[in-house]
Structures are given as structure tokens and as C-alpha cells.
Amino acid sequence: MPQPQHIVALGLARSGRAVLEAAGHLGATALAHDRDEGVDAVAPPGTELRLGAWDDAFLEGADLVVKSPGIPEDAEPVLAAKRAGLEVVSEVEFAARHLANPIVAITGTNGKTTTTALLGAMFEAAGRPVEVVGNIGRPLASLVGTVADDAWIVCELSSFQLEGVSTFRPSVAIITNLEPDHLDRHGSFEAYADAKLRVFAQQSANDVAVVPHGFGTIPGRARQIEFGATDPLPAEPLIPGAHNRENAAAATAAARAIGVSDDAIAQALRTFPGVEHRIEEVAIVDGVSYVNDSKATNVAAALRALASFPGRRKHVILGGRGKKESYAPLAFAFEDEDRAYVIGEAADEIASALTAAGVAHVHSGDLATAVAAAASAAMPGDVVVLSPACASFDQFTSFEHRGEEFRRLAQNLT
């Protein structure tokens, strides 16, 4: 793959900034654009910054355009680049072209962050060098020019990151599951699924694809390994829930395929504490548990949260910015004594589904009001869980921001 000489980077969040640093390591110049004039960014040497309105002149001299995952395929800068005959790739595609390391790529609708972090812990338990990157936090491009040659890369990938891949070929690719999500961005489940399945498309017969039992046909030519929640494991995972046992089975299957010993896998399973913002107990106040599941940004994820507390009355905070999903399956998963508190842009739509299912609920509007109402209604032994089934961007900057606010509110109840 020819090395680019002048890169145009679209977006100046974490991925875009990593692309600029990578360009410097490659000896390329770069121009970065972000429509947000207030973005806090410093131009590395050899980089120009352009903020605010897009101008096609920004493409002058470019031989590659790299877009951040938050920028859709139909954004004006992307369309302008394609009209100019320029290749437009995702940050992941760009980074992978300049990394010789073997990559394990993890995607799926839910469970991918837990699976990614757990697989990284398995490598560490085996004493093998590993870098854990991608949608989990640190961009893949941050490794260009900096990663040790002998390190494996374990990379979590969203559908947004996989939209712009064409030659990306992971040595091992995992899909945890595939359920409706991000329909507001992709337009249909079929388009969303197509983006996810691109993780397998370039794999050869020497590579490995790890998929749920009975998943069906996937693109590419990789050797296929299946996993499921009831698979025998070398140890039982510390993190609770059937969904987490399924994540553990996926990570175990991939680790074994790579040659990690069962002893190391067992050590990781016994000690891995889980990830922040995913069914994370953040406080116990007057016998009531407060659980932060802010990462549950779709209905399927919230369903897993509801199933994680059998025999306990649940006070569930739902809402945020919807993704054009039906909330009916979630509403009908509530048990008789459970109660919901709806917030954000999707509150009315969620409330309609809850009413149809006969679920008691309160229009709270915002998170602080919801936490206060749930705390007032909860009795010892109950659980108050933030599991929104929605994106966070109506009232918060990210699901992490939302989760940290829930943590603060819950801990301030003491």
C-alpha cells in the first residue's frame, strides 16, 4: 500500500487527533477539519487546522482522506472527497495499513467492550505483550509508529469504524452478537449488519472467525469457531450474568485459537472485574443497590440488564436520544413490581411502550430527577439501575459522562 504524502483528516475528536500524530510518524503532512469552531485542538508539526464551515479547497494536494467514526458517509466533506476522486477511509483502515502487528478485532451489538478488555487480560495473564485499543478508548491509529513489533493488538470496533474499511484483515475476528442498533445512522438493520460483517470480509483461510453458535454465513474465507454461553470454560468468570458468560466464551475461544494457555485464561476469568458503565454497582444506600449501565445504548443491551437481577424489584431509568428502535420488547420484559423512570428526548416514545405493557412509570425529564424519584420509592433489597436503551447525546456528551453523573448522584445519596 503506497504511503500517503498529504492526508486530510475529518474530525478532531480522539480518532482524528490520533490520525494527525500517525501522519507525523509516517512523514506525511496533514490538514484536519472539524465543523466545531470551539474544538480544543493543537496542531502537531506539519499539520494545518481548519475549523467551522467546510471548503472543498481543503482537499487541495491530498492523496488520502481519513474520517473519524462520528462522520457519516453522506457528510459533505466525504462526498466532496469522493467527487474529487480521492479515497476516503476510516481511521481503522488507515491505521491497519501501517501496522504489521497481528490484530484481533472484536465487534458486535453488545458485549464487545467486555470481550475486548477480558481478552486483553488473558494476554496479560499469559505474559504476552498486548495493546488494547479501538472503540474501547484509545484509537488504533495511536499505535502507528509507537507499538512494539511483537505485540498483539486487541481492537474493539463499532459499525461506524467498520463503514470505511476495504483492505482491513484481522488475524482473528470476533462478532459477539448482532441485533438492531444505530438505525438512525445506518437507515436499516441490513445496512448496519453489512457494516459489522465487514470485519470478516478480507480474512483468508489462515485467519480465524469467532461467531455465536448457529450464527450463519459470514463473508471471507476464515476458519470458523463457534461459542455460546453454556460452553465449558477453564474457570467461571468473576463477572456475573449469562451475557457475561457468553462474552467470556467468545474471549476464551479467541485466546485458545491464538495459543494462550488455559491456565492464563482461567486466571483472567477469575480476576477480571468487568468494565465501567456496564452493569457496574456504584453505591449501596440504605440497602438499595445503584447500578450504572450507561453503556446500554440500545434495547438489546437494556434487556440484558433487566435479566441480571432475578427476584429483585427494579427501578429502571430509561431514555435519552433514540435510535429508531421499538421499545416494546423492553417494556414487556419488566416484571410486575418493577418501575421505570423516563428521561430525555425519547421519554414520550418509551412511555407509550410502557403504558401498552402495563408498566408503572414516571416522567422524570432528567437524570437527577429520576435518581431522586427512584431513591424515594426504592426499598431495601431493590436495585436502581440506569440502563437507558438510548444514546446520551441529548443531555450528555457521552455515555461515560452520563454514567459518571449517575455515579455522583447515587453516591451523594449517602
134 domain residue, yes or no: yes
Alpha carbons 361 and 342: distance in angstroms, whole number = 7
Range in 31-45, 54-68, 150-164 with the lowest mean pLDDT: 31-45
The CATH number of residue 379's host domain is 3.90.190.20
| DSSP conformational letter for 79 | H
Going by C-alpha positions, the residue among 142, 129, 136, 139 that lies closest to residue 115 is 136
**Cell numbers standing for residue 278:** 456496564
- Report the predicted TM-score, pTM, of the whole model to 2 decimal places: 0.83
Is the same domain home to 41 and 101? no
The CATH number of residue 71's host domain is 3.40.50.720
Whether the per-residue pLDDT at 27 is higher than 80: the answer is yes
Residue 287 vs residues 283, 379, 386, 404: alpha-carbon distances, Å: 10, 7, 17, 21
Contact 280, 292 (CB under 8 A): yes
Is the same domain home to 190 and 141? yes
Whether the per-residue pLDDT at 86 is higher than 90: the answer is yes
Q: Which of 252, 271, 290 is the last residue of a domain?
A: 271
Could you list the residue range(s) of the whole structural domain that residue 290 is in?
280-411
1 domain residue, yes or no: no
Among this protein's residues, is 363 annotated catalytic?
A: no
Q: Which of 221, 251, 271 is the last residue of a domain?
A: 271
Range in 45-49, 84-88, 143-147 with the lowest mean pLDDT: 45-49
What is the pLDDT averaged over residues 134-155? 95
Whether the per-residue pLDDT at 323 is higher than 80: the answer is yes
| Per-residue confidence (pLDDT) for residue 37, from 0 to 100 | 85
Among this protein's residues, is 412 annotated catalytic?
A: no
State pLDDT tens for residues 342-397. Answer: 999 999 999 999 999 999 999 999 999 999 999 999 999 999 999 999 999 999 99
Is the same domain home to 200 and 257? yes
Length of the chain: 414
Contact 408, 280 (CB under 8 A): no
50 domain residue, yes or no: yes
Q: Which of 217, 239, 271 is the last residue of a domain?
A: 271
Is the same domain home to 251 and 109? yes
What is the pLDDT averaged over residues 77-91? 97
23 domain residue, yes or no: yes
Alpha carbons 145 and 163: distance in angstroms, whole number = 24
Going by C-alpha positions, the residue among 227, 188, 223, 193 that lies closest to residue 208 is 223
Is the same domain home to 40 and 124? no
From the candidates 112, 243, 323, 361, give the one annotated as an active-site residue: 112
The dihedral through the CA atoms of 33, 35, 41, 42 has a sign that is positive
Cell 463473508 -> residue: 219
Whether the per-residue pLDDT at 181 is higher than 90: the answer is no
Among this protein's residues, is 67 annotated catalytic?
A: no
From the candidates 182, 314, 315, 323, give the one annotated as an active-site residue: 182
Residue 92 vs residues 37, 103, 133, 284, 386: alpha-carbon distances, Å: 25, 11, 11, 40, 31
Give phi and psi for 225, each to the nearest 5. -120, 135
Total domains in the fold of the chain: 3
Whether the per-residue pLDDT at 1 is higher than 80: the answer is no
Going by C-alpha positions, the residue among 168, 15, 193, 182 that lies closest to residue 98 is 168
167 CB-side CA count, 13 A: 12
| CB-based contacts of 284, cutoff 8 Å, min separation 6 | 290
200 domain residue, yes or no: yes
| CB-based contacts of 406, cutoff 8 Å, min separation 6 | 282, 290, 292, 294, 317, 367, 371, 386
From the candidates 67, 98, 110, 135, give the one annotated as an active-site residue: 135
52 Ramachandran zone, left/alpha/beta (phi>0; psi -120 to 50):
left
Whether the per-residue pLDDT at 41 is higher than 80: the answer is no
Alpha carbons 212 and 246: distance in angstroms, whole number = 9
State pLDDT tens for residues 214-253. Answer: 999 999 999 999 999 999 999 999 988 888 999 999 999 9
Instruction: Look over the chain and give the mean of its residue pLDDT values, rounded to a whole number.
Output: 95
Is the same domain home to 116 and 172? yes
Strands (DSSP E) found in 141-276: 152-156, 172-175, 208-212, 223-227
